[in-house]
Every structure is written in C-alpha cells, then in structure tokens.
Structure 1
Amino acid sequence: MAILVTGGLGYIGSHTVVELLNNNFEVVIVDDLSHSERFILKNIEEITGKKPVFYPFDLKRKELLTQVFDAHEIDGCINFAAFKAVGESQVKPVDYYENNLFSLINILQEFKERGISNFIFSSSCTVYGQADEMPIHENTPLKMPESVYGKTKQMGEEILIDFAKAYHRKISLLRYFNPIGAHPSAKIGELPIGVPNNLVPFVMQTAAGIREKLNVWGNDYPTEDGTAVRDYIYIVDLAKAHVAALKKLMADDSDHAVVDIFNLGTGKGSSVLEVVKAFETANDVKVPYQICDRREGDITIAYANVDKAQKELNWKSETSLEEALRTVWQWQKYLETRNT
C-alpha cells in the first residue's frame, strides 16, 4: 500500500513526505516542479535513508495520473498540488481556478473509479475570510474569501465533502494557518521561485541582502502595532499533523462517509513586525523594511483554536516562533553554500 503525495517536493509536501517515510509509509510523489527543484528529492532521501517514488508531471494530465494508479496500489492521498500565492491569485485568477481545481477533480475521479478512500486536503484558514471572532474554531462560519486562492480552497473543500457523502469515503480537511521554518537538517525548506509571496521567505532574503527592503503591507490595521496578525506554525509540527490525520482516517473501518476538519496552528497570533523582530533576535541580523499600502486580498487578523486537533489527533504545535525562525536562517545558509 502506498500514499500518493501530490506536490510532494513543495514546501509543505516535502516535509510531510519526510514524516511519512519516518513512519514507514511507502510514498509516491507527483510534482510538476513548478514550485520546487529536483535536489529536494535527493535531500529527502538523505534525511530519511529512503527513496520515494517520483513522477514529474502536471496533474491536469489525467492520462499520466491514471498510469500512476495502474502502477501502484494507492491506499490514500495527501494533496498539496496547488498554486498558493494570495497576491498572484488576484492577477492570475483563471490559472488558479484551473490548476487548483482540475488537478483535484482528476485525483478524485481515480479514487471514485477504484474505490479508494483516505484523502487529506491541504486547505487553509483563508476559507474563513475575516472571521468576526478570535480564535477561529472549526465551526466558525465560512465567508467568501477575499482572494482567488482562498476561493479555490473553499471550493476544493465543498467538492471533497460532496465526494465523501456521495461515495461513502473518508476525507480530512486540514485548515492550516501560516507555515514557517525549515527542517532541522537544513536540507529542505521553503524555496521561493522568483520574488517571494510569503512573509518569512522575504524576511530571510532581505536579511541575506538578496532583497533591499522588506515590504510591510499596511501599518494601519486595528492591531497593536498596526500590522496584520497571523498564526505562524513550524513546518515540521505541521507535517506531523498530516501523518496523525492520515492514521486516524486509516484506523476508521466504518463504511459510511467521514469528513474530518481540523485547524492547524499554534493558537497564538503574531504581527508582521513581531515576526521581523523575532527573526532579528533569533539570528542576530537586521531586516530593513518599509511600510507600503495594504495588499488586496489580505485580512487583518487570523489565529486558530486548536483544541480539536489536540483532542482527536493527539497533536499540538511544540516549536516557538524564534526556534522556527532560526531554522529559516540555517536553510538560507544552506542555499548560499549550495549555490556557490
């Protein structure tokens, strides 16, 4: 039995593959390398001592996906295959709808035809939009997200819920907040292609002198320092939650539909400027920044209530913000060494 990990050489995917291999799962990766590089596969093998099966193609090519299912006895899927930049999604909406939804539907077609269950969806707190109250619970009402990226995640959830109910399958929707950090080995981490869209990679590259200044998008939010607040979760903690969610699904031998929904975060919000200061403190570096106008699609504040994940998955985030940010700087040093 094998677990299909789509987007498995990407940021969250690669860390989850490591945890799956460490838990003795057989892993089959499909990744088109649009947001990763082949050396990540080699580094996964170096970290774990195990080599996952890898197929480099776009999941929208259904005929190739069918060949993967023909070649392997797939027992579940963790789907990370999606474009994920909030800002970019606003200017490339058709690309986001096509990539994020067509690839999901192609996988579900294979699941339907072959009677496969155990599907974990990489979702996002963006499905809540700007929640009226904090912290955000799993039963917090969903709002229409402000970004196209968020809309694709909300649509993906709806597709999966309908799929589970119609075909009596087991799925888990993991709504995570803001993943940061790198593996403690410093051999895998977030690998921004071009200009970073997420905060921490931009902080990292600015500290390294690759970027002149960090753009802080707005300082007039109704928060303590005027900058937006998010819940930043360490990537390895997040990866371990995927393994816990998968084990829970696989242990359920019922023949009815199962729809698990979990928020994955730390339960604490940090502002943009707090993250900058924590990075500076953790790594003894300076991060020059400038205040810019707010960015379309961003929300003011979001942090999670994680009680359900702690209770039902026996999981919680254990790594502090500063500890996570130290691994970011180690990853940057590794990249500098690799590129010289």
Structure 2
Amino acid sequence: MPTSSIVATRKTRATSVLSHVTDGSNMFDELHSNLQSPTQFISIYNQYYQSVTARSIIVTILCNILTIENVDRKIQLFIIDCLISNRDNLSEIQFKQDLLPFIKQIFTTKDDDDDDNKDLLLSTIRLFVVLVEHRSTILSLTLAEWLSYLLNFLATNLSSTTYLVYGELIDDLISKIVKQFPPLSKDVIEILGRSSSLSFIISTNFLHQLKSWIQNSDDTRLAFFTIHLWESLACLLCRLIIRGHVKGNEILAVIEDAFIVQNYSIRSAAFTSWSSFMSYIHRLDDIDSQLLNSRLLKLFLTPFLSDSTSKSKSASIAKCRAWITLISMYPKNINDVILPFLSFAFGN
C-alpha cells in the first residue's frame, strides 16, 4: 500500500475514533477486547486520549478494568501510570469501588521473583504518593481501609534487603501521609486494630526488627532509612505515645539506642528525627498545656540527658539543633530546658 494511503487510513481511523468519543460503550468495548494485547490496548487508548473531553470517560473505564481478573500485567502497569498522569479525573467513588480492591490485591500478593509484580507494586505505591499529595480529599473516607493495606504490607514484607527496592518510596509515602492527614484518632486505631494491620505494625517482633536495624553500624543506609521510617510511624501513631499506651512506649524504645550507638552519623540522624517528632506533637491543636508541661516535657528531654556527643562535630550540631527546637517550645523553662542546654553547650 502506498505511504499516502497508509497515512490516509490512519487519519480516517483517528477521525472515526474522535467522532465517537462521547460513546463510552464504544471505548469500553474496544479496550475490553484487548485485555491480553498490551500493544493494541495502548494504541487504542492513545487514539481516544487525543480528545480532552474523552479523558474522564477513559479514566472511568481504566478503573473498571482494574477490577477484572486475568488482565495482562503490562496493561495493569500502563493503567496505573495513566491514573498517575490523570489523577485530577479520579473521583472518590472510583477510588473506593475500583482502586481499593485492586490495591488490596497488589499489597497482599507476595512474589519477590516476579519482576512484573514488583513493577506493579512500585507503580501502585507511586500512585498512592501522588494521590496523598495532590488528591487527599478523595482518600479521607477510606483512610482506615487503605492504611490497613499499607501497614500490613509494610510489616509483612519489609526486610533488610527489600527496603532497597521500595523503601525510599514507602518512606516518601508515609511522610506525605503524616503531612496531609492528622494523627490517627482513637476510632481509626481501633478499626486498624480489628483488621490486624495495626497489630502487625506495632508487634513486638516488628518493632524489635526496626530497633536492630537502627543499631546496625555496618549498614548505615539501612539505619538511616529505619530512623526516617520510625519518625513517620511515631508521628502517625503519636496518640498511642501521648496516652502512654504500652505500644506507644515500645515505639519509643525503637529509637532509644540510636542516641547512644557508637556510630555518630546514626546519632546525628536520630537527633534530627527527634527534633521533627517533638515539633510535630507540639503543633497538635488538642494537646493541653498541662500535659505539654509535665509528661511530654519529660519525654522530650529523655535523649538529651543520657547522651554525650562531644567527640563528633556533626552529632553535636544535630543535638544542638534539637535542643534549640526544644527551647523554642519551652522558652521560659529555665531549670528543665535552658540550664541543661547551657551545660551541654558550654560545660558545667
């Protein structure tokens, strides 16, 4: 066929597609008939996507396809990437009815040797990062549900090797969750507890594992990752800590040894994280002044009074900055805050 005829045929095809963009069933049928043919599926998508008015319909169809079993993995991966790009067209209902069941399936499927599954998992986490940062309103009503999937995945899949694969994304995601959503309420914590996901994430075994990673001077990258993860989890679950819950105390115990570990880089990271943790709690609207000036002050002071960082400039600077954060919170507390800081900075 002459080149001009091929071009004409393609133009005719594109014109025909664009002339029927309002017909959602037409798009639905064409895409659904190619769920095992990634190349053809993507080609059809690209033709329809040329029309701006068709995009919301396309997103609806893509979300629906994710609820179907036995769809080619490459197509699922393509759909997730499309939803990341078209996040503004996603609705709360679509997330709840179509995306949540798919996300649950991805987070509960464990196959470390399947590269397609690993790529799909990473893309799903990226989608979550984008939605939490830019479309948090469509996630609010299902917070307990999707968070349970995430925490369960984290507690059952995170290891000293898998963190290299998705640890950075997980850390970014939980950090953004902390920024976009308030600390988990008692009601949400109870819901998570019933789903067992919270039990996993605050289980003694998992917390002991985090603690051992922080103490691992042979793998500082793992220690730094764990400290950042601890900070996000401690902020997210700070209600347990503030209430003096036994699990809150276990969460605090994870970071304790980081302030006295022999590796000063780890100490420095721990004080930086502690500074952020103190600031986060201090900004909470529902913390009364009596609690802030009694039990919480005692809690905040704990790492400052037991550590000596004079042998390391970087650790001393990090500790000094954390002290300054504490002073900004208690500027009038001479005996408990100001004098101990002066002693640290200038000696007795």
Q: TM-score, normalised by structure 2?
A: 0.25
Bigger relative contact order (CA 8 A; separation at least 6): 1
- Which structure: greater helix fraction? 2
Q: TM-score, normalised by structure 1?
A: 0.26
Larger Rg: 2
- Which structure: greater strand fraction? 1
